[in-house]
Amino acid sequence: MIDYMLKFADQQEAESVLIAAGVMQMFEEKAVPVMGHAVDVIGKIYKPDGTYRTEENGFKIPNFEELEGYHVNVRSNGQFETFQQYIVTPATPYRVWA
């Protein structure tokens, strides 16, 4: 199995690349994985920005910032040259395959 961590500009780009690669297909107006490929759509990622807001009850809630990109993990037996420009290798992955 080959694991790919991919970052796209947005959901539309992700779906079009994954569909063109044969990893996903459209089913009832929704992109779904094709048998033989595992797809983990993470989407947008948010991280704490170091600031907090205080709720009326006194609880401090962290504020988050949106990171750039739309993220998808793919696990497959196939090698996809079309993925090369989208591959990322984060120091601390948001999600990984178990």
Q: pLDDT for 62-72, tens place per residue? A: 999 999 999 99
Decide: helix, strand or coil at residue 6.
Answer: strand
Decide: helix, strand or coil at residue 16.
Answer: helix
Residue 26 in any domain: the answer is yes
Domain extent at residue 29: 2-78
Residue 48 in any domain: the answer is yes
The pLDDT confidence band at residue 78, using thresholds 50, 70 and 90, is confident
How far is 23 from 61, CA to CA, in rounded Å? 39
Q: pLDDT for 37-68, tens place per residue? A: 999 999 999 999 999 999 999 999 999 999 99
- How many alpha carbons lie under 13 Å from residue 34 in its C-beta half-sphere? 13
Q: Which helix (H) or strand (E) holds 24?
A: strand 24-27
Decide: helix, strand or coil at residue 70.
Answer: strand
What b/e readout covers 14-28, taking b as 16+ CB neighbours within 10 angstroms? bbebbeebebbeeee
β-pairing verdict for 46-54 and 60-66: antiparallel
Residue 34 in any domain: the answer is yes
* Number of folded domains that form the chain: 1
Residue 72 in any domain: the answer is yes
